[in-house]
Amino acid sequence: MSIAKAFEAAFRRKREKGWDKIYVVVDIHDTILRACYQDEETYDYLPYAKSALQLLSSHEDICLILWSGCHPERLETYRQRFAQDGIHFDYLNENPEVGNSSFQNFDKKLYFNVGIDDKFGFDPDTDWVRVMEAVASASSLPEG
């Protein structure tokens, strides 16, 4: 499934189910930033990543979750730096808003509607533009 279709499906399901928001997990390296495994991060954004994430951050019906294997203190540093750039992540590697039910267990797997990660097939060189287009299109549809 393309990233545009993933957002379209998530917003459609949100409308059908009467949900308040969708949950989007976003990886850092080779997705938001060019991979840099040095002690000092360069914050070299991939094309359109910053603009797209600022757009996602501006939507009250989108919950952004930073999704990374970084150590917790490093992850918090990333969150703070992204916030300086107008990118606001609600959670780090967790989604406490969605709990277990009689048929779902989220003790070890967090719930999300859309995943943005190079390991999910996301192509940061082209897909950030598609994210902006899909969010602008899907979120402008009337509720109900």
Show the domains of the chain with their CATH numbers. 3-14+21-135 (3.40.50.1000)
Q: Is the dihedral of CA 68, 64, 109, 137 positive or negative?
A: negative
pLDDT the model gives residue 128 = 97
pLDDT the model gives residue 38 = 65
pLDDT the model gives residue 57 = 97
pLDDT the model gives residue 40 = 66
Q: How many helices (H) and strands (E) does the chain have?
A: 4, 4
pLDDT the model gives residue 125 = 94
pLDDT the model gives residue 52 = 97
pLDDT the model gives residue 144 = 52
Residue 60 makes CB contacts below 8 A (sequence gap 6+) with: 21
CB neighbours of residue 59 within 10 Å: 14
**Bridge partners of residue 20, in order along the sequence:** none
Give mean pLDDT in consecutive 10-residue pieces for the chain, a chain of 144 residues: 92 94 96 78 87 96 94 91 97 89 80 95 95 85 56
User: For the whole model, what pTM was predicted?
Assistant: 0.91
Residue type, 70: C
